[in-house]
Amino acid sequence: MDNAVDRFFDRLVDESPYPRLRTADGTIRFDLRRGSEREHWLVALDGGAVTVTHDDAEADCIVAMDREVFEGVVTGRMNFFAAMLRSEITASGAPGLLVRFQRLLPGPPSGDQAEAITTGKGGT
């Protein structure tokens, strides 16, 4: 299934390594909820290299949210830390790792992309 979440994590691996994250080492597990279902994404940062699996393993930082919220974050429609302040996202563990990871999140869409998101038409 091709969706925004899958594309985001695929892109993280495809574009690795990230020189600006060369001092970031650790793991972040994203627990995404959809009703009673749970989906896990384990992201390992190692000197700028990024790997992603679906492991439900222990991690240095654990982040939980509804899948819809994460879709909003990875498409740039929603700000990650603003969603945390609204308690739509919860996190435990190493906050510094999460702050570094947020550098990999997209910014808000602009122009045709923003219109495509809001209207469901056109865009790139």
Could you tell me the two tokens for 66? 């509804």
Q: How far apart are CA 75 and CA 118, in angstroms?
A: 12
Domain boundaries, the chain: 4-119
Q: What are the pLDDT digits (tens) for 52-86?
A: 999 999 999 999 999 999 999 999 999 999 999 99
For the domain with range 4-119, which CATH number is right: 3.40.50.800, 3.40.190.10, 3.40.50.2000, 3.30.1050.10? 3.30.1050.10
Coil, helix or strand at residue 31? strand
- List phi, psi (to 5°) of 54: -100, 20
Looking at residue 109, its pLDDT comes to: 75
Q: What are the pLDDT digits (tens) for 90-105?
A: 999 998 999 999 889 9
Looking at residue 124, its pLDDT comes to: 43
Q: How far apart are CA 65 and CA 83, in angstroms?
A: 9
Residues whose CB is less than 8 angstroms from the CB of residue 6 and which lie 6 or more positions away in sequence, other chains included: none
